[in-house]
């Protein structure tokens, strides 16, 4: 991609050039000690091989990440972070980054299943799902669990609506996804006909959004549609979605012309849960609601008398697939949690919970015009 295609920050009428990237009073206050040291504030637009590009009020700075690449992978600087960069030097170093308000984390597929941060300080986690291939509801649930856990608001965007043969089929597909995603908006879009992109543009015009999904889902095509320019490279010819070809290889933060910030990410083959019990609970909120009515509060929903979950299965309100998926994700999560150092996890979580609560309050205040 070429950064010259980024909308110029000088076009903004906002008081601070960084406002177009999401800078606000709370960030400014947190940055004060770094400003006193003469460090520049900027948002990380891309990290790769020991270096990162940071968008500052003076433009893009290429900086070395040696100081912000600790052993703990969850503390490694990432796209979306607010960085403190040296004003001069060769190389220039990122000296620190501000505590994150939200972070999208998955566990790597490696043996050690470490957490890996995919994007920081995100308000909307957009899960892109192609309608050109068979829906994988389990995978959507998995993405949603991580999205809820991140502290961002999830959104499912069903892409390539133009490839669905008729309206009735489209309706059924949307219904299936909606039943899988309580409390989550489900949008259908087509980058070919333009359908739905205006609705999406309105959502991403506020705050920071990250595009997530498997390779070939159409994330970069959507990013370009929202940017109104061919900034991100897209897969040249559509073969079969999600089959091995990864077009986007780094996570890129882009300022949208109508306001808002978008992070395009490389396709994920799989997303392992990483300490996402609350997120799983939110994805399956209706099951947790049924469970609240079970006769025994420690009901395992196997064969207990007065089990409201089994009653919902019997009446058809709840599907076997969904209950199985819930159980599977809970089990997987427990395995990950058991593997990870408990003390470290609780420390990191406390940090984030605090920050994301603050972040949400700030964001809500900003939206309602109080800041
Ligand atoms: N018919 C149709 N094709 C689309 C649409 N959106 C994307 N495509 C095609 O789908 C293919 C994949 O699109 P990309 O945007 O590169 O997918 P991606 O999710 O960014 O993929 P990775 O970068 O590998 O993760 C391309 O050939 C696009 O032209 C759409 O709305 N309709
Ligand atoms: Mg892409
Ligand atoms: Zn029960």
Do 160 and 247 meet the contact criterion of CB atoms below 8 Å apart? Answer: no
Q: How many other β-carbons are positioned within 10 Å of the β-carbon of residue 349?
A: 13
pLDDT at 120 over 80: yes
The confidence score (pLDDT) of residue 14 equals 41
Q: Give tens-digit pLDDT for 335-356.
A: 877 776 665 666 666 666 655 6
pLDDT (mean) for 27-40: 96
For the chain, what is the mean pLDDT? 86
The confidence score (pLDDT) of residue 351 equals 61
Alpha-carbon distance of 349 to 370, in angstroms, equals 28
**Token pair recorded at residue 136:** 């994988």
Do 99 and 30 meet the contact criterion of CB atoms below 8 Å apart? Answer: yes
Please choose, from the candidates 156, 160, 240, 155, the residue with its C-alpha nearest in 3D space to the C-alpha of residue 194. Answer: 160
Q: Give tens-digit pLDDT for 168-224.
A: 999 999 999 999 999 999 999 999 999 999 999 999 999 999 999 999 999 999 999
Which residue is it, tokens 């489209």?
Answer: 170
The confidence score (pLDDT) of residue 7 equals 44
Alpha-carbon distance of 232 to 252, in angstroms, equals 9
Q: What's the gap between Cα 349 and its chain centre?
A: 17
DSSP code of residue 43: E
pLDDT (mean) for 294-313: 94
Ligand 1, residues at Cβ distance < 6 Å: 159-160, 162-163, 190-192, 213, 215-221, 234-235, 237-238, 246-248, 266-267
pLDDT at 297 over 80: yes
How much is the CA Rg of the chain, to the nearest whole Å?
21
pLDDT at 240 over 80: no
Ligand nearest to the CA of 226: 1
Please state the atom number of ligand 1 nearest to the C-alpha of residue 233: 16
Residue nearest to atom 13 of ligand 1 (CA): 218
Pairing of strands 103-107, 94-97: unpaired
The residues, ordered by sequence, that sit 6+ positions from 317 with a Cβ below 8 Å of its Cβ are: none
Alpha-carbon distance of 215 to 28, in angstroms, equals 36
Alpha-carbon distance of 267 to 293, in angstroms, equals 40
Q: How many other β-carbons are positioned within 10 Å of the β-carbon of residue 296?
A: 11
Q: How many other β-carbons are positioned within 10 Å of the β-carbon of residue 332?
A: 17
Alpha-carbon distance of 154 to 124, in angstroms, equals 6
What residues form DSSP beta bridges with 124? 153, 209
Q: Give tens-digit pLDDT for 152-166.
A: 999 999 999 999 999
Query: Lowest-confidence range among 109-118, 266-275, 296-305, 319-328?
Result: 109-118
How many Å lie between the centroid of ligand 1 and the Cα of residue 316? 36
Please state the atom number of ligand 1 nearest to the C-alpha of residue 246: 24
pLDDT (mean) for 104-129: 85
Q: Give tens-digit pLDDT for 38-74.
A: 999 999 999 998 999 999 998 999 999 999 998 888 8
List CB-based neighbours of ion ligand 2 within 5 Å. Answer: 219-220, 247-248
Q: Give tens-digit pLDDT for 73-90.
A: 888 999 999 999 999 999
Ligand nearest to the CA of 306: 3
How many Å lie between the centroid of ligand 2 and the Cα of residue 135? 19
**Token pair recorded at residue 285:** 């909120």
pLDDT confidence bin for 6, thresholds 50/70/90 = very low
Reported pTM: 0.85
pLDDT confidence bin for 2, thresholds 50/70/90 = very low
State the angle between helix axes of 320-339 and 137-150 in degrees (0 to 180), rounded to the nearest 10: 50
Q: How many other β-carbons are positioned within 10 Å of the β-carbon of residue 24?
A: 16
Select, from the ranges 25-39, 59-73, 240-254, the one with the highest average predicted confidence (pLDDT): 25-39
Mutate which of 161, 221, 242, 271 for ligand 1 pocket (most atoms within 8 A of beta carbon) = 221
């Amino acid at each position: 991609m070429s950064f010259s295609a980024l909308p110029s920050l000088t076009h903004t009428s906002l008081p601070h050039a960084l406002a177009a990237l999401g800078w606000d009073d709370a960030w400014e206050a947190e940055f004060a000690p770094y400003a006193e040291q003469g460090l520049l504030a900027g948002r990380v637009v891309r990290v790769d091989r020991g270096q990162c590009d940071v968008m500052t009020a003076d433009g893009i700075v290429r900086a070395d990440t040696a100081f912000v690449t600790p052993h703990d992978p969850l503390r490694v600087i990432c796209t979306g972070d607010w960085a403190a960069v040296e004003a001069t030097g060769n190389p220039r170093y990122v000296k620190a980054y501000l505590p994150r308000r939200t972070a999208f984390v998955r566990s790597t597929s490696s043996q050690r299943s470490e957490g890996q941060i995919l994007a920081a300080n995100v308000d909307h986690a957009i899960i892109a799902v192609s309608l050109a291939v068979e829906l994988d509801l389990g995978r959507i649930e998995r993405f949603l669990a991580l999205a809820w856990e991140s502290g961002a608001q999830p959104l499912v965007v069903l892409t390539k609506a133009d490839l669905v043969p008729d309206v009735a089929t489209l309706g059924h597909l949307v219904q299936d996804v909606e039943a899988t995603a309580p409390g989550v908006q489900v949008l259908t879009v087509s980058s070919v006909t333009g359908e739905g992109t205006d609705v999406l543009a309105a959502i991403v015009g506020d705050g920071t959004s990250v595009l997530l999904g498997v390779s070939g889902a159409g994330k970069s095509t959507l990013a370009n549609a929202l940017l109104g320019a061919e900034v991100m490279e897209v897969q040249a010819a559509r073969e079969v979605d999600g089959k091995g070809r990864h077009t986007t290889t780094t996570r890129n933060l882009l300022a949208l012309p109508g306001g808002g910030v978008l992070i395009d990410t490389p396709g994920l083959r799989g997303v392992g849960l990483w300490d996402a019990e609350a997120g799983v609970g939110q994805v399956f909120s209706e099951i947790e609601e049924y469970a609240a009515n079970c006769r025994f509060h420690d009901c395992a929903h196997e064969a207990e008398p007065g089990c409201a979950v089994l009653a919902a299965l019997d009446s058809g309100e709840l599907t076997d697939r969904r209950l199985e998926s819930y159980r599977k994700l809970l089990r997987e999560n427990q395995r990950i949690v058991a593997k990870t150092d408990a003390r470290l996890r609780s420390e990191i979580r406390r940090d984030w919970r605090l920050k994301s609560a603050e972040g949400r309050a700030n964001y809500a205040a900003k939206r309602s015009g109080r800041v």
